[in-house]
């Protein structure tokens, strides 16, 4: 197949690209490099099945030749990233989704949109199942991400119902692994960077808020399975093992025993969800998918990736 990935030079997209190329497909990545990074796909230069186009999917996109699948992955995705690029985040998840749905009709391509656990906001139901409608502050400091992602889902369902677009929706929970931007502020990469640099690990609030962490290869395998499955409604993708942020800090420190870092507490950002954990019953039933990489294994791989890079060794 010939497959288009918006946000093609992003963290998740670059791993998804590796998976799709390994399956023998051709991949066209599109990125405007607001948060994407050419280094993430540098290893693919010279691969004649891979092409990277610099373009903004908020503008109408002209792609020559057939396209069989569109993965709409483009968007700033870290709280720091989407607050820094608020208007771009709103646009890529609204106008960008709309444009790519139009392209999917033009090319007769199947379309998948990367939605998010942020659709559940600060959840009143725990763990989060796909039939929970969420608790989102529509004007808060995450609203430029949460609400357009919710719109992206609504837009996708409208194209599916009225225009018969062939669509898929995933809700991605916290994911970690190599190629995350070391300075995008997300928790795992921040703690690893801080520990490797012997700086204090910055735990926000008392650190009792929870997240669940999925290793990137598990996640992209799930994304690909959703695309190829016959199921229209949203599917949660994430690791259901929930832990506190304080536990994440301690685990990172235990895996970098030479670190001289300590743990320090900083104020809790506004609208920070207190708990988050996916119910992945649907993914298990429909896709036969669940994460297989243990946290210890995933964190160790990630630490190895950044050890040389961040310490200048």
Give me the residues that bind ligand UDP (CB under 6 A), please: 78-79, 174, 185-187, 190, 202-204, 209, 211, 245, 269, 272
Residue number, 113 or 245, with CB nearest to ligand UDP? 245
Residue number, 194 or 224, with CB nearest to ligand UDP? 194
Min separation Cβ 51 and ligand UDP, Å: 31
Q: Residue 128 — left, alpha, or beta (φ > 0 → left; ψ -120 to 50 → alpha)?
A: beta
Going by C-beta distance under 8 Å and a sequence separation of 6 or more, which residues neighbour residue 310?
182, 192, 193, 196, 197
Phi/psi at 37 (5° precision): -140, 125
Q: Which of 50, 82, 120, 145 is catalytic?
A: 145
Q: Is residue 145 annotated as a catalytic residue, yes or no?
A: yes
Residue number, 94 or 209, with CB nearest to ligand UDP? 209
Residue number, 107 or 149, with CB nearest to ligand UDP? 149
Q: Tell me, what DSSP letter sits at residue 39?
A: G
SS3 147: helix
Instruction: Output the DSSP codes for 88-135.
Output: HHHHHHHHHHHHHHHHHHHHT-EEEEEEEGGGGBS-SSSSBPTT---B
Residue number, 68 or 184, with CB nearest to ligand UDP? 184
Min separation Cβ 230 and ligand UDP, Å: 30
Name the strand (E) or helix (H) holding 167: strand 167-172
89 neighbors 148 (Cβ within 8 angstroms): yes
> Token pair 């992206």 is at which residue?
152
Min separation Cβ 289 and ligand UDP, Å: 21
61 neighbors 37 (Cβ within 8 angstroms): no
**Among 166, 193, 293, 184, which Cα is nearest to 249's?**
193
Min separation Cβ 269 and ligand UDP, Å: 6
Min separation Cβ 66 and ligand UDP, Å: 36
**Active-site annotation, residues:** 145
């Amino acid at each position: 197949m010939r497959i288009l990935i918006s946000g093609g030079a992003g963290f998740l997209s670059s791993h998804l690209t590796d998976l799709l190329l390994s399956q023998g497909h051709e991949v066209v990545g599109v990125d405007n490099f607001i948060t994407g990074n050419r280094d993430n796909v540098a290893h693919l230069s010279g691969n004649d099945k891979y092409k990277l186009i610099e373009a903004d999917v908020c503008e109408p996109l002209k792609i020559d030749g057939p396209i069989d699948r569109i993965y709409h992955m483009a968007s700033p995705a870290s709280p720091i990233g989407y607050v820094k690029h608020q208007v771009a985040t709103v646009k890529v998840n609204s106008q960008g989704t709309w444009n790519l749905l139009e392209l999917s009709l033009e090319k007769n391509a199947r379309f998948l949109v990367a939605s998010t656990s942020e659709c559940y906001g600060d959840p009143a139901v725990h763990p989060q199942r796909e039939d929970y409608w969420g608790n989102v502050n529509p004007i808060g400091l995450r609203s430029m991400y949460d609400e357009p992602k919710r719109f992206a889902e609504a837009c996708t369902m409208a194209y599916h119902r009225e225009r018969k677009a062939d669509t898929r929706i995933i809700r991605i929970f916290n994911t970690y692994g190599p190629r995350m931007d070391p300075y995008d502020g997300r928790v795992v990469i921040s703690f690893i960077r801080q520990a490797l640099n012997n700086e204090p690990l910055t735990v926000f609030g008392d650190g009792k808020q929870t997240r669940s962490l999925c290793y990137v290869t598990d996640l992209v395998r799930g994304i690909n399975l959703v695309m190829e499955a016959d199921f229209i409604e949203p599917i949660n993708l994430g690791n259901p093992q929930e832990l506190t942020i304080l536990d994440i800090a301690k685990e990172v420190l235990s895996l970098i025993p030479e670190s001289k870092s300590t743990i320090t507490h900083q104020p809790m950002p506004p609208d920070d969800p207190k708990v988050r954990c996916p119910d992945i019953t649907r993914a298990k039933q429909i896709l036969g998918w669940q994460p297989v990489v243990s946290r210890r294994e995933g964190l160790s791989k990630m630490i190895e990736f950044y050890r040389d890079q961040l310490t200048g060794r």
